[in-house]
Amino acid sequence: MAHEHHHHHHHAPAAGENLNGVFVLCIVLNMLFVIIEAVVGLTQGSLSLLSDAGHNLSDVFSLLLVLVAFHLAKVHSNGHFTYGYKKSTVLISLLNAIILLVAVGAIVIESVHKFSEPSEVNGAAISWTAGAGIVVNGLTALLLMRGQKNDLNVRGAFLHMAADTLVSVGVVVSGIVIYFTGWTIVDPIVSLVIAAVILVSTWELLSDSLRLSLDGTPEGVEPEQIRSLMEQTEHVEEVHHLHVWAISTTENALTAHVVVDDLNSWAEVKHHLKEHLKEHNIVHSTLEVETADNRCSEHACC
């Protein structure tokens, strides 16, 4: 049986290389808004504003963690971490999802408490403050839109900011209702709606992060489609023991056994296979070549 292990390292541009400055700007904008929102919420007794401020603070923390992930992803490999610290980007996206779930729990608890002990709320102050939130969150979402297709962490940040923009719209509406009707019960109701929006926007991030943490197949990669694509390559008879996993939120890896009809064609076959894999965002691949007469048995391979 012929074996050839070849590691091809083709590095796609990391999202962090172009988005560091954008994230710093987003962090500054959102931190300023959190301070304003918290002050107004405390002085005016608005739970919806305080809930939104707490959520926005968790978003600031999440943005900071993404910046940390960008820098960790650039750390060179060593004897203990042969892929460097790229996997930390997945762990950080998981941590961000957990932080948001904790924020949801806190908002729900406070909302229930507010139903039993309602307080006077200044509807005009809520509306003006939340209106500023529409501008800040909307601008942040626009800044992150460019990089959200290529990185789970950036996509998570973008989804949260887009959801926050909608939440701020809801808070503006509640402030207007309170101002004209005096129905302060609208405040905790809006807080619960905020919690629901956060939960929905977080769920996909949580499930994706958990899957990648367990070396599950990355989003957008279909193993059977990859196998079929590889088997359509000339001289390839069969592909088995194919495994695909994420090294980071932007880089995927693959290992596979490739059965060819002619070992002399392997160099050419390997080149074509790796080019096909790169087109499907698999930038690290290890391929083991076999012939039909000397393929490994199921027991031997495992």
Q: What is the pLDDT of residues 277-287, one digit of tens each?
A: 988 888 889 99
State whether the Cα torsion 160-52-104-69 is positive or negative. positive
User: What pLDDT, on a 0 to 100 scale, did the predictor assign at position 287?
Assistant: 93
User: Which pLDDT band holds residue 10 (cuts at 50, 70, 90)?
Assistant: very low
Q: What is the pLDDT of residues 78-110, one digit of tens each?
A: 888 877 888 888 888 888 788 778 878 877 887
In sequence order, the 6+-apart residues with CB closer than 8 A to the CB of 109 are: none
Q: What is the pLDDT of residues 210-228, one digit of tens each?
A: 998 898 888 888 899 999 9
User: What pLDDT, on a 0 to 100 scale, did the predictor assign at position 61?
Assistant: 80
Of 183, 198, 213, the residue at which a domain comes to its end is 213
User: Which pLDDT band holds residue 15 (cuts at 50, 70, 90)?
Assistant: very low
**Comparing C-alpha atoms, which of 84, 82, 79, 78 is closest to residue 14?**
84
- Mean pLDDT over 192-196 rounds to 83
- Mean pLDDT over 62-87 rounds to 81
Q: Which of 11-25, 34-48, 177-191 is the least confident region?
A: 11-25
Sheet arrangement for strand 236-246: 7-9, 282-291, 252-260, 236-246
Q: Is residue 142 part of a domain?
A: yes
Of 179, 213, 247, the residue at which a domain comes to its end is 213
User: Which pLDDT band holds residue 120 (cuts at 50, 70, 90)?
Assistant: low
DSSP, collapsed to helix, strand or coil, labels residue 113 as helix
Contact 121, 178 (CB under 8 A): yes
Residues 245 and 200 in one domain: no
Looking at the whole model, is its pTM more than 0.95?
no
Q: Is residue 150 part of a domain?
A: yes
38-58 burial string, b = 16+ CB within 10 Å, else e? bebbeebbbbbbbbbbbbbbb
DSSP, collapsed to helix, strand or coil, labels residue 292 as coil
- Mean pLDDT over 32-50 rounds to 82
* Residue type for position 57: L
Residues 222 and 280 in one domain: yes
Residues 241 and 208 in one domain: no
Q: Is residue 204 part of a domain?
A: yes
Residues 208 and 295 in one domain: no
Instruction: Tell whether the model's pLDDT for residue 29 goes beyond 60.
Output: yes
Separation in Å, CA 287 to CA 45, 215, 237, 243, 273? 62, 19, 14, 11, 9
Separation in Å, CA 231 to CA 67, 243, 264, 282, 295? 40, 15, 17, 16, 15
Contact 191, 51 (CB under 8 A): yes
Task: Tally the domains of the chain.
Answer: 2
Instruction: Tell whether the model's pLDDT for residue 7 goes beyond 50.
Output: no
User: Which pLDDT band holds residue 45 (cuts at 50, 70, 90)?
Assistant: confident
Residues 143 and 22 in one domain: yes
How many residues belong to the chain? 302
User: Which pLDDT band holds residue 76 (cuts at 50, 70, 90)?
Assistant: confident
For the chain, how long is the longest CA-to-CA vector? Answer: 82
User: What pLDDT, on a 0 to 100 scale, did the predictor assign at position 240?
Assistant: 92
Sort strands 236-246 and 252-260 into parallel, antiparallel or unpaired: antiparallel
Q: What is the pLDDT of residues 158-175, one digit of tens each?
A: 877 877 787 778 778 888
Contact 255, 6 (CB under 8 A): no
User: What pLDDT, on a 0 to 100 scale, did the predictor assign at position 245?
Assistant: 92
Contact 254, 226 (CB under 8 A): yes
CA distance 89 to 134: 29
DSSP, collapsed to helix, strand or coil, labels residue 291 as strand
DSSP, collapsed to helix, strand or coil, labels residue 240 as strand
Interaxial angle between packed helices 152-181 and 15-44, expressed in degrees from 0 to 180 and rounded to the nearest 10: 20
Instruction: Tell whether the model's pLDDT for residue 11 goes beyond 50.
Output: no
CATH of residue 261's domain is 3.30.70.1350
CA distance 145 to 248: 20
Percent of the chain scored above 90 by pLDDT? 13
The residue range of the domain holding 197 is 15-213
Q: What is the pLDDT of residues 236-249, one digit of tens each?
A: 999 999 999 988 88
Residues 99 and 178 in one domain: yes
Contact 275, 233 (CB under 8 A): no
Cα 196 to its chain centre, rounded Å, is 19
Of 213, 236, 270, the residue at which a domain comes to its end is 213
Instruction: Tell whether the model's pLDDT for residue 250 goes beyond 70.
Output: yes
Q: Is residue 231 part of a domain?
A: yes
Interaxial angle between packed helices 152-181 and 123-145, expressed in degrees from 0 to 180 and rounded to the nearest 10: 160
Instruction: Tell whether the model's pLDDT for residue 254 goes beyond 90.
Output: yes
Name residue 244's beta-bridge partners.
254
Instruction: Tell whether the model's pLDDT for residue 3 goes beyond 80.
Output: no
DSSP state letter for 182: -
Instruction: Tell whether the model's pLDDT for residue 291 goes beyond 80.
Output: yes
- Mean pLDDT over 30-44 rounds to 86
